[in-house]
Structure 1
């Protein structure tokens, strides 16, 4: 039964993501907002809903290992696998705003998180600081959207009610499917006797990142690489600033020494991804393949750790 429900969860993720991307892209055209802004905000926060649910509930129940490892593991997966697979499917030009603003912000806040992890805990005050950073980032996005309104392209635009229905219905399917995948994957993994931290970094992290993966792949196949890359980077920023910020504000989190190492690996992967995107202002297929191989190497490291 667990395997059947796992399959149903994957199906909900795929179809939900398809509807979500269509609705979001249509809404961007209606509002004359660049799709990259929609990807960095609405889509990024929507696809990060499973991570938020898992980490905040874990913090409330005192499962610190899951709360932290879920976010760090998800961000490593987003940067290396989500972007890597999208680049491997179809190499794309990197958006100038993402290169100048969002990728550097992602690196800076990851470095700040590493610094916060050094003392072995994430306090309430540090959580509030992260939440304040999220408020500042969203404000910056809104200002950018207002300054950079663009004319609608010659493409199919759905009516506003239908666009909103697609977004809402797709988001519900993505969240429900993501939670179903995580729950059943955890049960299957627990039967093999692996640790909670390992489950958080792998099964839960990958499971909660499936919405980002599927949404970005669907966007890439539709030729909207701005939405794909913006979704992955925006989700990483949202995961650190909002999810860890909210989790720590609710309940201070104990940080394992292993989590600090994983955060340093996350920082290194963010820098590598930025260098790949910065060179020639494109992400090529071989760079995408390199990102995927780096994640395979990271997973191998987790197994032997």
Structure 2
């Protein structure tokens, strides 16, 4: 058991470091190719911060532990929406742009609702056990992701200064490509070690893969979002904090689960209706709070944070 815990920590560290290296290399390469910074942020950086979730979910599905894959994504989104937004708002009240409330958050709500419907193959039962996320479901999710990215890029206003980003002389193409390769290798290897150890630990303790995915795995893969959002909120850059969470949530549900399902259809066994409901209502709460003067106050952040720990306590109680 102790060895598995050490492997889990090592796997998380390797995945997070790999994601950081991958993002840095991709951003450097994009600048060398004269890609606008706004495009870098919306695509490469967003993909980089969600890379841990993608590789952990994909490896989990391929290894025959789909509950770990689905639980990872659901848990990451709940972690993002309740704990990260909550803690960030408590650190510093976050002002939210009107366009974010009207455009971005509704996309995250829509993504959660679409997944909820796709997981309900059998409407005669209120449970999710035995339902599947098929390849067709995966294509539907990927279509939603394509619509989100297309609309976001189309409506993004790129300034002239962003159209020709500055390129440092130290940014070599070979160095960027090397970072990409190293980051990718760390993600693949780290995800494999992490998933294998988490699965063995769950089996030894009699805990389901779904619960492990919703807690340990989700928390580990959401560390980049937590660090980014809290630091951004503390520096008064609340747009980055809330944008990071919303973008990551949409990417996780539409992009990661969609791609994973297309590659390897998943059957749901350990994820409950409570988990799916918490996912949906957590983003609805953030949306509701955002309408109050377009600001997330400290007390609203506290409500989200406390709600997360109540949910976490419920998961632990039902182990």
TM-score range, shorter chain: 0.7 to 0.9
**Unmatched segments (≥5 aa) in structure 2:** 122-130
Alignment partners' CA distance in 1, 2:74 and 2:312: 13
2:95 aligned partner: 93
Q: Does 1:294 align with 2:296?
A: no
Two-structure CA RMSD over aligned residues (Å): 3.6
Q: 1:48 aligns with which of 50, 56, 64?
A: 50
Q: Does 1:269 align with 2:278?
A: no
Alignment partners' CA distance in 2, 1:106 and 1:267: 9
Alignment partners' CA distance in 1, 2:21 and 2:40: 15
Alignment partners' CA distance in 1, 2:296 and 2:194: 30
Asked if the contact 1:276–1:283 (Cα under 8 Å) also holds between the matched residues in 2, the reply is: yes
Q: Does 1:149 align with 2:168?
A: no
Q: Does 1:66 align with 2:85?
A: no
What's the secondary structure of 1:279's corresponding residue? coil
Q: Does 1:227 align with 2:240?
A: yes
Change (3 A) 1:225 1:274: same
Change (3 A) 1:244 1:220: same
Q: CA deviation at 1:84?
A: 1.2
- Identify the structure with the greater helix proportion: 1
Q: Does 1:240 align with 2:242?
A: no
**Structure label with greater radius of gyration:** 2
* Greater Cα shift, 258-267 or 4-13: 4-13
1:253 aligned partner: 266
Alignment partners' CA distance in 1, 2:297 and 2:169: 35
What's the secondary structure of 1:159's corresponding residue? coil
TM-score, normalised by the number of residues in structure 2? 0.77
**Unmatched segments (≥5 aa) in structure 1:** none
Alignment partners' CA distance in 2, 1:276 and 1:202: 25
Change (3 A) 1:4 1:55: closer
Q: CA deviation at 1:59?
A: 1.6
1:102 aligned partner: 104
* Greater Cα shift, 193-202 or 48-57: 193-202
2:120 aligned partner: 118
* Greater Cα shift, 89-98 or 233-242: 89-98
Alignment partners' CA distance in 2, 1:276 and 1:14: 34
Q: Does 1:139 align with 2:150?
A: yes
Alignment partners' CA distance in 2, 1:289 and 1:116: 32
What's the secondary structure of 2:60's corresponding residue? helix
Asked if the contact 1:74–1:209 (Cα under 8 Å) also holds between the matched residues in 2, the reply is: yes
1:279 aligned partner: 292
